[in-house]
Amino acid sequence: MKLLTREALLSFRRAPLLSALSVTTIAFSLFTVGLFGLVALNLRQALKGLEERVEIVGFVLRGTPSEAIAVATQDISAFPEVKDVSYVSEEEALQRARNELVEFRDAYRDLQMNPLPASIEVRLKDGFRDAAAVERVAQRLKGFGFIDDVRYGREWVQKLDSLRNITGLVGLVIGLTFAAVAVVIIGVTIRLTILQRAREISIMRLVGATNWFIRGPFLLEGALKGLLGGFLSLVLCYAGYLLFRDKSGGTFGGLLFFAPEHMVLIVIFGVLLGLAGSLVSVGRHLRHV
Amino acid sequence: MIRFANVYKAYPNGALALKDVTFHVSKGEFVFLTGHSGAGKSTIMKVLFAEQKPSAGEVRVSGYNVNALKPTDVPRLRRRLGVVFQDFRLLEDRTAAENIAFALEVTGARTDTIAARVMRVLTQVGLSAKSRAYPREMSGGEQQRVAIARALVNDPAILLADEPTGNLDERATRGVFQLLRDINAGGTVVVMATHDLDLVRQTSYRIIEMRDGSVVYDSQMDEAQAEAK
């Protein structure tokens, strides 16, 4: 193990330029992936704000006893998808209409009787705001006898849904493309190191080193480069994030940066990229010699 | 220890490097492989340390069947062999002692035994005073001695030497050759490929002569035939 680490570290000292190149390419590949991740992250955050407002409204038939409504409200709040349920009485509905629809205030004031029905407003839990879940809850609301009609922004929910799916998909495709590019670049740089050390490898083989023994230092080297590249890419991402946030003059003041677990994930991803790149080129070399 | 039976080796371009090569090497033998360049000496060496597989025929080395050697067995076979080349193949950025220790380290030898084992072989080849010298600070003969020490450090049953004196002057050649003879006297099988006929004639060791991939002369067979008559 000591030997392994020594050999891996030695390559940094022996070929500082090449090592720096490897680390930088990994950093830039991850930086690109990271930037896209940040965009996706913030887009998702923005969508989440919109989704918060996804609401299902069930209009209650006039004359429904309040006990029945209370029981139903209890039932509905026990649905796994439901975050909270509130009952809006006829009076409250009228009051709300007066406040919100200023233009019709006069019309509402002169009313002899309240034309607005009472309603049950249902807000859904995080993760249950997709079109399918909304539809499901709406159908169940309709099942209550005293519910006259159910309204929810069906199209709106579906659009949100597809927008989120598309960002996810585009992010995945671009991310994977860049990851593939990173693997190739790392493979090439490790291959250069290997060619540089071809003599040493041939001697190792000659004196009876196993293939895993020969691979070890290169894999560790790749992993180390991935680790460094991962950290560097985080620094770059953070710099880009700060720059964008400050230059935008407050428009994007609420921009998010990666959570700690995301950062760990990026660094781990860097290590995996480094390992994959070195495994590919070492494997190829060992087969050829 | 070594058994070649009707061995053929064809290269991808169809050229035959070995044609029907058969010979056996027993325990304690010293064998010269002679012949012009391209006669097949180096190919025999490469097959012996499993760098190449024979195309046909059977090759056994120190109990291993080279034909059917699994990739994981190649390192095991090589640990029972010592190999020395014309160009020494030392690592330039390591001292003599480090070059030898390298051979132990890569085979996973216990760290606390390495220094002592390295000194023992360095002493055996007469270079205990040069343990800290780098290859560029040593003469060709000294470098070849380091290479031999590296080959010996794993206590091989067989030492393969491919033109070990090819790059050396006459004096260094004599020294290295004497060293190989001493090693053989200790019980290690030595197979030495060379085209230095003066060296070959100095001794009464067995000679296998190659030409165009075939064995054209084997002094042991000759003796056996002579005895048969």
Residue numbers in A near B77 (CB within 8 A): 208
Looking at the structure, tell me whether residues B23 and B52 fall in a common domain. yes
Question: Does the residue B105 lie in any domain?
Answer: yes
Cβ of A208 within 8 Å of Cβ of B72? The answer is no
**Contact residues, chain B to chain A, C-beta under 8 Å:** 49, 71-72, 75-79, 81, 83, 89, 91, 93, 102-103, 105-108, 111, 150, 154
Distances (CA, A) of B86 to A224, B70, B180: 37, 28, 14
User: Residue ranges of the domains in chain A?
Assistant: 2-49+162-288, 55-152
Section B75-100 average pLDDT: 92
Cβ of B75 within 8 Å of Cβ of A210? The answer is yes
Looking at the structure, tell me whether residues B89 and B63 fall in a common domain. no
Residue numbers in A near B71 (CB within 8 A): 211
The strand pair at B158-162 and B81-85 is best described as parallel
Of A203, A205, A209, nearest to B91 by CB-CB distance is A203
Report the domain count for chain B.
Answer: 2
Closest-CA distance of chain B to residue A18, Å = 18
List the one residue out of A37, A32, A9 whose CA is nearest residue A225. Answer: A9
pLDDT of res. B172: 93
Question: Does the residue B161 lie in any domain?
Answer: no
**Closest alpha carbon within chain A to B152:** A207
Among B95, B123, B155, the domain-final residue is B155
Looking at the structure, tell me whether residues B140 and B191 fall in a common domain. no
How far apart are the C-alpha atoms of A142 and A150, rounded to whole Å?
A: 7
Helices and strands: H and E segment counts in chain B? 8, 10
Residue numbers in A near B91 (CB within 8 A): 199-200, 203
pLDDT in tens, B15-50: 899 999 999 999 999 999 999 988 999 999 999 999
pLDDT in tens, B127-182: 999 999 999 999 999 999 999 999 999 999 999 999 999 989 999 999 999 999 99
The reply to whether CATH 3.50.50.60 applies to domain A55-152 is no
- A vs B, Cβ pairs < 8 A, gives 47
Looking at the structure, tell me whether residues B94 and B124 fall in a common domain. yes
Q: Which of B105, B111, B160, B162 to mutate to test the interface with A (most CBs of A within 10 A)?
A: B105
How far apart are the C-alpha atoms of A202 and A193, rounded to whole Å?
A: 14
pLDDT of res. A289: 47
Cβ of B78 within 8 Å of Cβ of A200? The answer is no
Question: Does the residue B166 lie in any domain?
Answer: no
Looking at the structure, tell me whether residues B149 and B183 fall in a common domain. no
Question: Does the residue B163 lie in any domain?
Answer: no
Cβ of B79 within 8 Å of Cβ of A2? The answer is no
Cβ of A3 within 8 Å of Cβ of B105? The answer is yes
Closest-CA distance of chain A to residue B219, Å = 30
Residue numbers in B near A199 (CB within 8 A): 89, 91
How far apart are the C-alpha atoms of B193 and B214, rounded to whole Å?
A: 15
Question: Does the residue B142 lie in any domain?
Answer: yes
Dihedral of CA atoms B134, B139, B140, B141 in degrees, nearest 10, equals -110
Instruction: Name the band, by pLDDT with cuts 50, 70 and 90, for residue B120.
Output: very high
The strand pair at B2-10 and A82-88 is best described as unpaired
Cβ of B78 within 8 Å of Cβ of A208? The answer is yes
| pLDDT of B5 above 80 | yes
Cβ of B78 within 8 Å of Cβ of A206? The answer is yes
pLDDT of res. B164: 94
Residue numbers in B near A210 (CB within 8 A): 72, 75
Residue B92: give the domain boundaries.
Answer: 81-155
Question: Does the residue B1 lie in any domain?
Answer: yes
Of B72, B76, B107, nearest to A207 by CB-CB distance is B107
Helices and strands: H and E segment counts in chain A? 10, 4
Section B70-78 average pLDDT: 89
Distances (CA, A) of A86 to A34, A75, A117: 41, 12, 14
Among B155, B186, B204, the domain-final residue is B155
| pLDDT of B55 above 70 | yes
The strand pair at B30-34 and B206-211 is best described as parallel
Q: What letter does residue B93 receive in the DSSP assignment?
A: T
Closest-CA distance of chain A to residue B46, Å = 11
Looking at the structure, tell me whether residues B149 and B88 fall in a common domain. yes
Residue A207 C-beta-side C-alpha neighbours within 13 Å: 30
**Mean pLDDT, contiguous 10-residue spans, chain A (289 residues):** 70 73 79 76 72 78 80 82 83 79 70 78 78 80 80 71 74 75 75 79 86 84 87 89 74 72 87 84 69
Distances (CA, A) of A63 to A77, A242, B64, B168: 22, 58, 96, 113
Residue numbers in A near B110 (CB within 8 A): none
Cβ of A207 within 8 Å of Cβ of B108? The answer is no
